[in-house]
Structure 1
Amino acid sequence: MGLIIRLPPDVLASVDLHANGRSGPATSVAKSVAKAVPLNEQPTERQQLRRAMRSRRAAFTGALAPAVRGALESALVHALPRLGPPAILGSYAAMGDEIDPQALEQAAIAAGWQIAFPRVTEGPLSFHSAAYAALTPGYKGIAEPPATAPLVRPDTLLVPLLAVDRAGNRLGQGKGHYDRTLAALRASGPLRAIGLAWDMQLLDSLPAEPWDQPLDAIATPTLFHTPSPRAKAGA
């Protein structure tokens, strides 16, 4: 089930709905990349998808005027009422072509949420209460809170991604940081994981592995989608 958001025509025109993979399964995206790879060096399907989606996302954001990109990212604020009652919201510092959640974070703070950001560890990510301005470059240049910032457990988590499907299956960067983190947090108590994406990152289907942790909801600039329990179970 999904909530559709209305955007101004000039902003909506920049949401590339025809090049976002909705016209066919994600495997068609991967096949177009595989043709350029020698047979003896064929990557896995998921590696192909990552390469394809990085390229497509870069092309999408590269075509956006700064004002339009800012308007699309600000449109994520529509998800605020769907986050639930104010508690601790785990977020992330966007890198490169990732959709930036700062507007949603600021709206959440105004509504009474406490914001936490992740630090990369050898195991699950650790989350620390901190202001965005306090973040400094850490693992691979990703902005992170100081190690001395208060350690907290998010009740709701905003999750970055390369691609996602309508069943809530997520394709990340391939290091497993968020799969390990979601598994650990879910083992310790209730958690709502919401993937943030450009509309062109929402695909019809994605290959999933047994260890993959599905998302509970997906927010884009134009919609809020909650996968059905049947879809998340893979039925």
Structure 2
Amino acid sequence: MPEPTPLFPPPGADHSAETRKRLRQAARAARHAFAAGLNPLTRRALEQALCAQILPHLGPPGVLGSHAAIGDEIDPRAIEDAARASGWRLAFPRVGEGPLSYHRAGRADLAPGYKGIPEPPAEAPLARPDVLLVPLLAADLRGNRLGQGGGHYDRTLAALRASGPVLAIGIAFDLQLEAGIPAAPWDQPLDAIATPTAFHLTHGPARRAP
């Protein structure tokens, strides 16, 4: 796989709001340029390869927290289909004022919600994920993640980890791996990062062993 790219400053560098905004812009532009060059067949092949990297690490069937990909994000639907075939139940997030709430639902149940992002109906049964697929703009191999800036997944991971084990897997294209991302004090590290070519365990908390 390609070496992580030195797009960002080294760990310990400034992580002010303005700096992180610039980093997000750079990561978003790099991902967009990469995704724009993919034809549909190549993109599906990358998503299937991502699925193949993740499946051996899921462990015993439980609840898989997924999400609807937006924009240039890598799509987790291949992972959902394979996990469901192995006995996993799916849950999708709704955005509120606090942590994301996860609800048992299928893709067909999702409808545009917060900022037009597909989400399950409010009356769908609540579910606590055992494994969480986390979208990102960029990440490093220590589990530091750069998201969209709303803090939704940091609040969600903090709440889930306070109530029990959860395996948080960041999913990304290979070019989204960076040599180092400056982490803010409130950031929740990922337990693993999966790309179409590799599955990287980080130093974060881990779920039950397979």
1:46 is aligned, of 20, 36, 43, to 20
The match for 1:66 is: 40
Matches within 5 A, 1:20-169: 22-24=4-6, 26-27=8-9, 44-78=18-52, 79-169=54-144
Q: Indicate the structure (1 or 2) with the bigger Cα radius of gyration.
A: 1
- C-alpha distance in 2, partners of 1:227/1:168? 5
Structure 1's unaligned 5+ residue stretches are: 5-16, 29-41, 230-235
For residue 26 of structure 1, what is the amino acid of its counterpart? Answer: F
| Inter-partner Cα distance in structure 1 for 2:166 and 2:71 | 27
Is contact 1:58-1:97 (8 Å) kept? yes
Partner of 1:33: none
Correspondence 1:197 to 2:172: yes
Structure-2-length-normalised TM-score: 0.90
CA RMSD of superposed structures (Å): 1.6
The answer as to whether partners of 1:24 and 1:204 remain within 8 angstroms in 2 is yes
Q: Which amino acid aligns with 1:207?
A: P
- Supply the distance in 2 between the matched residues of 1:208 and 1:92 (Cα, whole angstroms): 24
How much does 1:24 deviate?
2.4
Q: 2:91 is paired with a residue of what secondary structure? A: strand
Identify, as 1 or 2, the structure richer in helix: 1
* Identity in percent: 63
Give the 3-state SS of the residue equivalent to 2:9 in structure 1: helix
Q: Following the alignment from structure 1 to structure 2, what is the Cα–Cα distance between the partners of residues 43 and 210?
A: 13
1:27-50 Cα distance to aligned partner (Å, 9 max, x none): 28xxxxxxxxxxxxx972211110
Secondary structure, counterpart of 1:76 in structure 2? helix
- Residue 37 of structure 1 corresponds to none
With over 3 angstroms needed to count, the CA separation of the structure-2 counterparts of 1:188 and 1:227, relative to structure 1, is: same
Q: 2:5·2:175 contact (CA, 8 Å) conserved in 1? A: no
Deviation for aligned residue 1:134: 0.8
CA distance in 2 between counterparts of 1:173 and 1:106 reads 26
Query: Could you state the TM-score of these two structures normalised by the residue count of structure 1?
Result: 0.81
Alpha-carbon distance, 1:155 to partner: 0.8
Would the aligned equivalents of 1:25 and 1:206 in 2 still touch at CA under 8 Å?
no
Output the amino acid matched with 1:65. Answer: N
Aligned partner of residue 26 in structure 1, secondary structure:
coil
What is the SS of the residue equivalent to 1:44? helix
Decide whether the 8 Å contact of 1:194 with 1:218 is kept in 2. yes
Letter in 2 for 1:188: S
Could you tell me how far apart the structure 2 residues matched to 1:61 and 1:142 are? 19
What is the distance in 1 between the residues matched to 2:108 and 2:6? 41
**Runs of 4+ displaced beyond 6 Å:** none
**For 1:216-227, what aligned pairs fall within 5 Å after superposition?**
216-227=191-202
The 3-state SS of whatever aligns with 1:58 is helix
